Amino acid sequence: MPVLRIEGLVKTFGSFRAVDGVSLDIHAGEFFALLGPSGCGKTTLLRMLAGFETPDEGRILLAGNDIAPMLPHERPVNMMFQNYALFPHLSAYDNIAFGLRRAGMARGEIASRVAEMVALVRLDGLEKRKPDQLSGGQKQRVALARALARRPQVLLLDEPMAALDKKLRESTQTELMELQRRLGMTFIIVTHDQDEAMTVANRIGVMDAGRLEQVATPRRLYEEPASRWIAEFVGDVNLFEGEVTGREPHRLTIATGDAGKIVAAAPLMPLSESAVVVAIRPEKVRLARRGPATDALSAHAINRMEGVVIEANYLGGTTIYKLKLDSGAIVRAAAANTARLDVDAYGVGQRVVAWFTPDDCVVLDR
């Protein structure tokens, strides 16, 4: 039984369908991320869960009860706002206690709950400060404590780390994950940052144009994208358009214009047409001065193509190479810099062989 069940949710603004029929189950104790480009409807979906938007169609079942007709202040969910929306005239303590006071909690109980929250988000000693006397990271923690104080059944987080700098964002992501695991609460986070979604979430729902395109674990989302759009949206990818020319058990042979013949693992779901696109992640494209001989490794039917390095971007942990194939197509390959002194690094202008196995390919509808 999911803690939150969303059924056929639709929200239109004029003629614009912001959320266009979304159904989704979220389980208790899950850290779920809604990922998508801006304007994809993820924030509207979250705002419907919080009660700030009324759905035109569909139901929102929280522990079995439809909360769609309930007003925001009646819902047992709380939200952490993008720019925190801390009350500027109240101290950190009063901000955290705000929701508890509205619930009519006894004074002593409020004090102990606030103290517990302050300890949880490590804000000790800052209770008396007003929001404009707090740093960005401290404000973020007050907002988190305030949203958690009422012990909501589901915590909604709207781009909670968008206002933090990169270093602080990374440490905050880790803290948020630990906190969620420790409390065993259900978190739903909205973000446009795929690294953030992959870091914190158990499952990710990718949205585009008001629809939920794929719901999967971070790994499956990256390695088994459901569509060409997802493959391009999540991470970096090389795409080769082609036609299926041969079908064997578990193997497809695809004739591509840019990369010649590619042998790929057959997808689990049958393709609707023979016009397909082959997706290969850059780190799965391996480089060699002389590729493994196709004959010797024919059992693996390794795909190989030759080209010239036209760009080599050293990024520290990895180097991204851009190759120009003989067909004129550009292929990106990411190589991990596993050795400090790399005599094998490729230089611009060097002729190399790029190769990958059939299992590294994902065949998608074009």
Partner 1 sequence: MSTRRTFSRPARLAAIAPYVWMALFFLVPFGFIVKISLSQTVIAQPPYTPVFSITDGWAAIRDAFAALSADNFRLLRSDDIYLLSYLRSIVVAATSTAILLAIGYPIAYGMARLPRRWQAIAMLLVIVPFWTSFLIRIYAWINILQHDGLLNQILLALHLVSQPVVWLSTDSAMYLGIVYSYLPFMILPLYATLARMEPALEEAAADLGASPREIFWLLTFPLSLPGVGAGVLLCFIPIVGEFVIPDLLAGSQSLMIGQTLWLEFFTNKDWPVASSIAVVLLVVLLLPLLLYDRLQRRQLEAGR
Shortest distance (Å) from residue 3 CB to partner 1: 18
Binding of residue 114 to partner 1 (CB under 8 A): no
Residues 321-350 contacting partner 1, CB under 8 A: none
Among 24, 34, 50, 206, binds partner 1 (CB under 8 A): 50
Shortest distance (Å) from residue 144 CB to partner 1: 13
Binding of residue 85 to partner 1 (CB under 8 A): yes
Binding of residue 73 to partner 1 (CB under 8 A): yes
The region, left, alpha or beta by phi > 0 then psi within -120 to 50, assigned to residue 207 is beta
Residue window 116-145: x/- pattern of binding to partner 1, with contact defined by CB under 8 A: --------------x-xx------------
CA distance 257 to 243: 9
Question: Quick one: 104 or 249, whose CB is closer to partner 1?
Answer: 104
Residues 235-264 contacting partner 1, CB under 8 A: none
Shortest distance (Å) from residue 73 CB to partner 1: 5
CA distance 358 to 301: 7
Beta strands in the chain (DSSP E): 4-13, 16-26, 31-35, 57-62, 65-66, 77-80, 154-158, 186-191, 203-208, 211-216, 238-248, 251-256, 260-265, 275-280, 286-288, 303-314, 318-325, 330-336, 351-356, 362-365
Binding of residue 65 to partner 1 (CB under 8 A): no
Question: Quick one: 185 or 234, whose CB is closer to partner 1?
Answer: 185
Residue window 141-180: x/- pattern of binding to partner 1, with contact defined by CB under 8 A: -----xx--x------------------------------
Task: Report residue 230 as tokens.
Answer: 């997802």
Among 7, 25, 98, 318, binds partner 1 (CB under 8 A): 98
Among 19, 45, 79, 142, binds partner 1 (CB under 8 A): 79
Task: Report residue 305 as tokens.
Answer: 């193509």
Angle at alpha carbon of residue 129, lines to 135 and 178, rounded to 5°: 55
Query: Order of strands across the sheet with 362-365?
Result: 260-265, 251-256, 238-248, 275-280, 362-365
Among 64, 88, 249, 316, binds partner 1 (CB under 8 A): 88
Among 43, 78, 238, 303, binds partner 1 (CB under 8 A): 78
Contacts of 254 (CB under 8 A, 6+ apart): 240, 242, 243, 244, 245, 261, 262, 263, 264, 276, 278, 363
CA distance 346 to 358: 25
Among 41, 55, 99, 282, binds partner 1 (CB under 8 A): 99
Yes or no: say if 286 and 333 are a contact pair by the CB < 8 Å rule.
yes
Provide the residue type at 240 as one letter: F
Q: Is 340 helix (H, G, I), strand (E, B) or coil?
A: coil
Question: Quick one: 51 or 55, whose CB is closer to partner 1?
Answer: 51
Which residues are near partner 1 by CB under 8 A?
50-52, 71-73, 78-79, 81-83, 85-89, 98-99, 102-103, 130, 132-133, 146-147, 150
